[in-house]
């Protein structure tokens, strides 16, 4: 989505507050520019000061249900972020996915756990395994397989301006 003029720059901050601000700003832009609700908002993430990602935000129940299913692939440095408000236990599965991904469960601006999820190709999507969050989480990050190999629990994650 191209925004013109550019909204005020957001200061770097922890994940939940920045997502709320991005949602409000993008919601105003959608109303004033006539953007459709089907276009996903985007954010920039920084992990441990070294890894930067541009992510689509899966903010609605439908967007979170669909996730990356239907994407043919992911470009390096991209992904999808699923914010959860309120924080709570979550789970994910790979039904409808044609490529493996890395995931990171987050809470309060820190990564709690990462994993690489393999493709699940079965006639019945309910047969695909599910991965449970390691407790209450406020976001799930999905990105290219291998991108999070060096990331350890406790690593900081934040939005950037």
Phi–psi pair at 43, nearest 5 degrees:
-145, 160
Tell me the pLDDT tens digit for each residue of 33-63: 333 334 899 999 999 999 999 999 999 999 9
Q: Where is 57: in which H helix or E strand?
A: strand 51-57
55 CB-contact burial (10 Å; exposed 0-12 / middle 13-18 / buried 19+): buried
Tell me the pLDDT tens digit for each residue of 101-128: 999 999 999 999 999 999 998 889 899 9
Domains in the chain, ordered, with CATH? 13-159 (2.60.120.1140)
Task: Give the model's pLDDT for residue 91.
Answer: 96
d(CA 118, CA 130): 11
């Amino acid at each position: 989505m191209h925004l013109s003029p550019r909204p005020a720059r957001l200061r770097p901050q922890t994940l939940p507050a920045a997502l709320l601000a991005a949602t409000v700003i993008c919601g105003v832009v959608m109303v004033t520019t006539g953007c459709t609700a089907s276009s996903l908002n985007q954010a920039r993430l920084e992990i441990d000061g070294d890894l930067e990602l541009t992510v689509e935000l899966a903010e609605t129940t439908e967007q979170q249900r669909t996730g990356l299913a239907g994407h043919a692939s992911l470009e390096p440095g991209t992904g999808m972020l699923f914010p959860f408000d309120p924080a709570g236990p979550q789970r994910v599965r790979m039904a409808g996915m044609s490529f493996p991904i890395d995931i990171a469960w987050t809470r309060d601006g820190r990564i709690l756990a990462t994993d690489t999820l393999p493709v699940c190709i079965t006639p019945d999507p309910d047969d695909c395994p599910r991965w449970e969050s390691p407790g209450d989480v406020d976001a799930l990050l999905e990105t290219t397989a291998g991108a999070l190999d060096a990331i350890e629990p406790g690593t900081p994650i934040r939005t950037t301006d």
